[in-house]
Amino acid sequence: MSFSKVAIIGLGLIGGSIGLAVRQDLPDCTTSGYDANPKVRSRARELGLANVIHDDPAEAVKGADLVILCVPVGAMSDAASAIAPSLSPECVISDVGSSKRSITNGLTEALPGHTIIPAHPVAGTEHSGPDAGFATLFHQRWCIITPPKSAPEDKVHALVDFWEALGAMVETMDADHHDRVLAVTSHIPHLIAFTIVGTASDLEEVTRSEVIKYSAGGFRDFTRIAASDPTMWRDVFLNNKDAVLEMLDEFLTDLALMREAIRAGDGQMMHDNFSRTRAIRRSIVALGQDDPRPDFGRVHD
């Protein structure tokens, strides 16, 4: 089986990119879209993010065999309730949220009897909103699918095929494991970036203007992910609390060791630690998960 009508609920960076990618990569598939914000719906129509943009979420999912919820994690259950009345019984309900256990529980409760197959494309930029999307966002990126045990195999396969058609590589895992993995590879990096950017802008001895001027020394890298959508990230931390706190404490333990090495002037400890981190970077570049050009390919002229 494969999907012939995809409904996209939420037309920001990810929802918009799915719409554009389907148009480019799955021309036989039609799309319908909805966003709670009327300005976003209007802009989505101008940009053609879906074949039809509806003003009512229940209208948007009528006749759809795949519904993808692309709203902040905290808005998933309400979005599910809003579409419930007109969902086809055969329809697959999926999403793109960055925490999977709470979404799985929330959707299962909101949509009893429906086929729910959560998913998470590990892709994005620091921009958000309907203008931020583009059709190649998922190319060469991983999409993690966390099917509940009850999910029919043919529908899981269809969702895998859908994401592969959009250029993604697909991996399947348990929702709880997903939440631990993403806590490390995404949530903690964002938390640290939001925090250090806040710290730097509040200092008394160094002005904000100096922080901005001399940011090329490394700080500017952190400002990119700290420019991500505040509502999306608030919801991630509210919904993946346990895994985030667990990984944050691992990081804090290591940072305390590093602090002590600096205090004690332990150059050997620092050199040993700083040497092994290069290997990880090399592997990420070798596996096509980052740009091989120096400085992420930033323009130097």
State in angstroms the smallest separation of the CB of 247 from its own copies. Answer: 8
Shorter beta-carbon distance to its own copies: residue 63 or 219: 219
Q: In this structure, which amino acid lies at residue 20?
A: L
- Please compute Rg for the chain using Cα positions: 21
The site map against its own copies for 34-73 (x = CB under 8 A) is ----------------------------------------
Shorter beta-carbon distance to its own copies: residue 93 or 193: 193
Span from 55-63, 87-95, 105-113, 247-255 in contact with its own copies (CB under 8 A):
247-255
Restricting to residues 167-226, name those near its own copies by CB under 8 A.
171, 177, 180-182, 184-203, 205-206, 208, 210-226
Shorter beta-carbon distance to its own copies: residue 1 or 285: 285
State in angstroms the smallest separation of the CB of 187 from its own copies. Answer: 8
Q: How many residues are there in the chain? A: 301
Restricting to residues 271-290, name those near its own copies by CB under 8 A.
271, 273-278, 280-284, 287, 289-290
Span from 30-38, 45-53, 85-93, 243-251 in contact with its own copies (CB under 8 A):
243-251
**Residue 295 contacts its own copies per CB under 8 A:** yes
- Residue 144 CB neighbour total at 10 angstroms: 22
Shorter beta-carbon distance to its own copies: residue 59 or 126: 126
| In contact, 47 and 8? CB cutoff 8 Å | no
Shorter beta-carbon distance to its own copies: residue 4 or 185: 185
Q: Which two tokens stand for residue 91?
A: 């329809």
Restricting to residues 70-129, name those near its own copies by CB under 8 A.
74, 98, 122-127
**Residue 265 contacts its own copies per CB under 8 A:** yes
Separation CA 63–CA 6 (nearest Å) = 9
Sequence-distant (6+) residues with CB within 8 A of 187 are 98, 99, 236, 237, 240, 243, 244, 247
State in angstroms the smallest separation of the CB of 301 from its own copies. Answer: 5
**Residue 165 contacts its own copies per CB under 8 A:** no
Shorter beta-carbon distance to its own copies: residue 55 or 295: 295
Shorter beta-carbon distance to its own copies: residue 115 or 240: 240
Q: Under rule CB under 8 A, how many of the chain's residues touch its own copies? A: 112
